[in-house]
Amino acid sequence: MEQRPPSVDKLARSLADTGLPHPVLVDVVRSAIADGDHTTARARAEAASRSMLQPVINATGVLLHTNLGRAPFPASDSGQYRNLELDLATGERGSRQDHAPTLLAQACGAEAAIVVNNCASAVLLVLAALARDGSVAVSRSELVEIGGGFRVPEVMVQSGARLVEVGTTNRTRRHDFEQAVADGVDLVMQIHQSNYRIVGFTESVTTAELADLGPPLVADIGSGLLDAACPWLPDGPPPWLEGEPAARQTLDAGADLVTFSGDKLLGGPQAGIIAGDAELVARCARHPLARAVRPGGLVLAALQELALTYLRREGHAIPFWHMATLSADELRVRAEAIGHAKVVDTASTPGGGTLPGIEIPSVGLSLAGDRRDELRAGAPPIIARTADDHTILDLRTVRPDHDTHVADALAALD
Ligand SMILES: *Cc1c(COP(=O)(O)O)cnc(C)c1O
């Protein structure tokens, strides 16, 4: 006699301890039954629970790990209303662009700034607002693709601006841009190569050389270093930042606008910043696309906190800068205290498509073999990397208050 299938509802209720809502459990049970084996329902429910968005321990040593949300920054959510678009002085309607953007502009020496959803939308908005139905000159060496499908020529098409390629892949001169300006381009744009370098027989044009060509000069600097002098760090800029373009210096050199990400070297939440000439920023803010790419109150509150921290010069209070500047000695002390694995010298990387090839000396723990799956299966999941048949846990990107979790996870392995 055929066995009666178990009641979906009853089976779902028996999985309530997984913490998943009943309708989700019902779906899980139904798919287990449909696949012919209701006894897999618990494993499926646990897998569904583990696939949720959740905190993880980043032991990869990649500071801006795109798969882990780039820069970690606390969301300042108090669950309360905010004066997002209310002017508290007058009681009139205010602008969400009055708070964080003004402070960020101050921190990089810009006349004005606005915040949008990410740097991709910043570039799209600038092009649409300043060059729609017009043309934009860009060096052939800077027609970049950033991870996740952001390709400059394609963004250009979406904005309604026409791309005018200038120079060659390896060599572009000021004269090439002069030619494009003589032919009537509406905008000159520089795009930071970010995730690659061209070496060898090369020549490129500095921001200063393009500053007086005539049309507005926009520099997409991408990674969001506010100031090359890093006044928020007591010891000034670390050596590995060498050559990274910064917002303040790019504007000083004559760019009319800079665009950059909130969650790369700025160290904040996902956002895009457009900063520079007040008139041009206002034109971007007025464009209809600005409404479509505006950030929410959570992001703006976090960015305001971040900007204040920069202006107070408290770099140690910004998780990215704190982790990026920890000394190998400090990390070694922590590695030895964690134990359960061999303490090794290793190298962290900035990540997030910035500073390709740059390594920051670091210290970590090394295990024989590939133990990444087991570490990732823990609670909280620990994300490690492998090198030469070993699993490396780089402590630079691990919060010190998570060292005990790491110790427990390693103890459970051996
Ligand atoms: C990263 C980057 C972008 C895209 O920034 P998102 O914030 O990821 O949208 C655009 N331009 C440059 C030069 C970048 O480095």
> Average per-residue pLDDT in the chain?
95
At 121-137, the pLDDT tens digits run: 999 999 999 999 999 99
pLDDT, residue 5, reads: 66
At 296-315, the pLDDT tens digits run: 999 999 999 999 999 999 99
pLDDT, residue 180, reads: 96
The span from the CA of 275 to the CA of 271, in Å, is 13
Structure tokens at 376: 């990732």
Please report which confidence band the pLDDT of residue 407 belongs to, taking 50, 70 and 90 as the band edges.
very high
pLDDT, residue 195, reads: 83
Nearest protein Cα to ligand 1, atom 15: 222
pLDDT, residue 196, reads: 84
Other C-beta atoms within 10 Å of 245: how many?
23
Q: How does DSSP assign 147-190, residue by residue?
A: TTTEEHHHHHHHHTPEEEEES-SSB--HHHHHHHHHTT-SEEEE
Which of 51-60, 195-204, 393-402 is the least confident region? 195-204
For residue 241, the SS3 value is helix
Average pLDDT over residues 186-206: 92
Query: Looking at per-residue confidence, does 162 or 352 come out higher?
Result: 162
Other C-beta atoms within 10 Å of 64: how many?
25
Residues 121 and 113 sit within 8 Å (Cβ to Cβ): no
**Identity of residue 31:** S
At 258-294, the pLDDT tens digits run: 999 999 999 999 999 999 999 999 999 999 999 999 9
Question: What stretches of 269-377 show up as alpha helix (H) in DSSP?
Answer: 278-286, 288-292, 297-311, 319-324, 328-338, 372-376
Average pLDDT over residues 44-63: 95
Query: Looking at per-residue confidence, does 194 or 128 come out higher?
Result: 128
Identify the residues whose C-beta falls under 6 Å from ligand 1.
Answer: 118-120, 123, 146, 150, 191-192, 194, 220, 222-223, 261, 272, 353
How far, in Å, is the centroid of ligand 1 from the Cα of 200? 25
Residues near 272 by Cβ (< 8 Å), separated by ≥ 6? Answer: 115, 116, 117, 118, 119, 120, 121, 122, 123, 259, 260, 261, 262, 293
Q: CATH number of the domain at 57-72+321-413, please?
A: 3.90.1150.180
Residues 211 and 205 sit within 8 Å (Cβ to Cβ): no
Structure tokens at 135: 């043309």
Q: Which position has the token pair 């900063």?
A: 275
How far, in Å, is the centroid of ligand 1 from the Cα of 386? 27
Please report which confidence band the pLDDT of residue 3 belongs to, taking 50, 70 and 90 as the band edges.
low
pLDDT, residue 387, reads: 94
At 166-179, the pLDDT tens digits run: 999 999 999 999 99
How far, in Å, is the centroid of ligand 1 from the Cα of 370? 32
Average pLDDT over residues 199-226: 95
The span from the CA of 112 to the CA of 277, in Å, is 6
Q: Would you give the distance in Å from CA 231 to the centre of its chain?
A: 22
Burial of 253 from C-beta contacts in 10 A (0-12 / 13-18 / 19+): middle
Q: Is the pLDDT of residue 2 over 60?
A: no
Residues 331 and 395 sit within 8 Å (Cβ to Cβ): yes
Q: How does DSSP assign 43-57, residue by residue?
A: HHHHHHHHTS----E
Phi–psi pair at 65, nearest 5 degrees: -85, 110
Q: Which CATH architecture has domain 96-314?
A: 3-Layer(aba) Sandwich (3.40)
Report the percentage of the chain scoring pLDDT > 70: 99
Nearest protein Cα to ligand 1, atom 13: 222
Please report which confidence band the pLDDT of residue 75 belongs to, taking 50, 70 and 90 as the band edges.
confident
pTM: 0.95
Please report which confidence band the pLDDT of residue 401 belongs to, taking 50, 70 and 90 as the band edges.
very high
How far, in Å, is the centroid of ligand 1 from the Cα of 154? 14
How far, in Å, is the centroid of ligand 1 from the Cα of 414? 42
Average pLDDT over residues 93-97: 96
Is the previous residue joined to 380 through a cis bond, with omega within 30 degrees of 0? yes
Nearest protein Cα to ligand 1, atom 12: 222
Please report which confidence band the pLDDT of residue 147 belongs to, taking 50, 70 and 90 as the band edges.
confident
Which of 174-178, 382-386, 396-400, 410-414 is the least confident region? 410-414
Please report which confidence band the pLDDT of residue 239 belongs to, taking 50, 70 and 90 as the band edges.
very high
The span from the CA of 387 to the CA of 370, in Å, is 9
Phi–psi pair at 116, nearest 5 degrees: -125, -170
At 324-344, the pLDDT tens digits run: 999 999 999 999 999 999 999
Residues 15 and 7 sit within 8 Å (Cβ to Cβ): no
> What are the sequence ranges of the domains in the chain?
8-50, 57-72+321-413, 96-314
